[in-house]
Structure 1
Amino acid sequence: MRVLLVEDEPELASALRAVLARHDMVVDHAVDLVEADQIASACAHDVLVLDRQLPDGDGLTLIPKLRARGNRVPVLVLTVRSEIADRVAGLDHGADDYLAKPFAFEELLARLRALLRRPANMQSEVVRAGRLSFDLANREACVGGTVLELTRRETLVLEALLRRVGRMVPRSMLMEAVFALGDEVQPNALDTQVSRLRRKLVDAQGGVLINGVRGVGYLLRETP
């Protein structure tokens, strides 16, 4: 899952990025409306977490701009302004949910999961290939009922490949699924993650194999 976080408070932004990353989310971070608009135009995101009080204006003004460009990303608004009128304004601007500060991280995560379960974003909660199953809600891969011990980035690679099982996934798409903007990424970073994941799947006898075409991408296929 790729999240665009728009929050200008450094401490809160750092804490949110850490929490989201621990739950296998790739986080792009913007501190104002201009930067958020640029990132949203450059990358596709599964959800937008948007603060209202930003240095260059009200975060709500970003939503109509995105919608006008056909960007239907679900939006969760964070704000200290929790009066009913403020909530109504947020929803009327196109926000999908509204969470008042201060809030518990557990509630934020639950609301994000709820947004992604809505009809426009509905997807099967379990993806299967060979003897491998992947629970999209719990971010958990299993083979024959045994949970695979995967790192966060290995999990992200596996999810991206499983969503297009049997088809080539371009390197650019995998890079976008695994690394956030601003991450320091070595040239062979993606290949390293894929290699480690491939070895774990083979050792677990998952009934799948990851094949690659140098410079093009990777595909996950079921083995006979």
Structure 2
Amino acid sequence: MNLLIVEDTPSLLMSLDRHLRSQGHTVDLAADLGTALSLWRSEPDRFDVILLDENLPDGLGSTLLAEVRAAGNDTGVLVLTARSQVHDKVHLLDVGADDYMTKPFEFPELDARIRSIHRRRQQKPSGLETFGPLEFDRSQSIFWAAGEQVQLRHKEAQLLEAFVDAKGAICTKARLIQKLYRLDDDVSENAVEVHIGRLRRRLADHNIRIETIRGVGYQCHV
């Protein structure tokens, strides 16, 4: 899994880093709220789980949590807190945390809670749309194949959603740019080509082909 650890105590941050890397995870570190926000904003779909300290030198970890949830992002969040009051824990869960651990804690329990969060986030909901061999949860822009979630970055999922809506018709580059970017973004057509290339690689094992219609756009065949 890709993890973001947000913790301002250097010894605990390094200890978490060493342990979680030893478990095979990819880890990014932030010792303050500003760094954590920058890492998340730069690539909001990168992380599977965020380990989030509540008390940081420049603010509260729940500020990041609230921004993640306000953006509709489904990243798992495990809050690490020294606070033991029930109302503090209730507040964190209400803001959108998946779980919390009170410091100090043991690594085996931490590992189990990370796995539990990841499993819950991977569970397939009911009432999905179908798109060829894929199933699609439109509310969260998540795709599934053979019971497993297809790992897509945010813009890759947006592209695939555009192809779902097109129902086999050609999607022009202009339409895809409109889907992926805001009106005030300075975007080249090459940016769409990069995301199309990545999406093709993601779908290579699912018998879905994206054809380039020269001078027009793209057509998805399922």
- Give the TM-score taking structure 1 as reference length: 0.54
Structure 1 residues 175-219: Cα deviation after superposition (integer angstroms, max 9, x where no partner): xxxxxxxxxxxxxxxxxxxxxxxxxxxxxxxxxxxxxxxxx9x99
The alignment partner of 2:52 has SS state of strand
Give the gaps of 5 or more residues in structure 1: 124-162, 165-215
Shift in Å, 1:58: 1.3
Structure 1 residues 69-124: Cα deviation after superposition (integer angstroms, max 9, x where no partner): 22210100001101111110110111010100000011000000000110x3238x
RMSD: 2.9
Structure 1 position 11 matched with structure 2 position 11: yes
Give the gaps of 5 or more residues in structure 2: 125-148, 151-197, 206-222
- Give the TM-score taking structure 2 as reference length: 0.55
1:70 corresponds, among 39, 59, 72, to 72
Q: Which amino acid aligns with 1:106?
A: P
Q: Is the contact made by 1:76 and 1:99 (CA closer than 8 Å) also made in structure 2?
A: yes
- In the TM superposition, structure 1's runs of 4+ consecutive aligned residues that sit over 6 Å from their partners are 218-221
Q: How many Å separate the matches in 2 of 1:91 and 1:104?
A: 21
Identity level (%):
44
Q: How many Å separate the matches in 2 of 1:2 and 1:82?
A: 28
Looking at both structures, which has the greater relative contact order when contacts are Cα pairs under 8 Å and sequence separation is at least 6?
Answer: 1
Q: How many Å separate the matches in 2 of 1:92 and 1:22?
A: 32
Q: Is the contact made by 1:64 and 1:94 (CA closer than 8 Å) also made in structure 2?
A: yes
Q: Which amino acid aligns with 1:40?
A: W
**Which residue of structure 1 aligns with residue 106 of structure 2?**
104
**Which residue of structure 1 aligns with residue 62 of structure 2?**
60
Q: How many Å separate the matches in 1 of 2:72 and 2:88?
A: 25
Aligned length, in residue pairs: 136
Q: How many Å separate the matches in 1 of 2:83 and 2:70?
A: 26
Q: How many Å separate the matches in 2 of 1:102 and 1:63?
A: 21
Q: How many Å separate the matches in 1 of 2:29 and 2:55?
A: 15
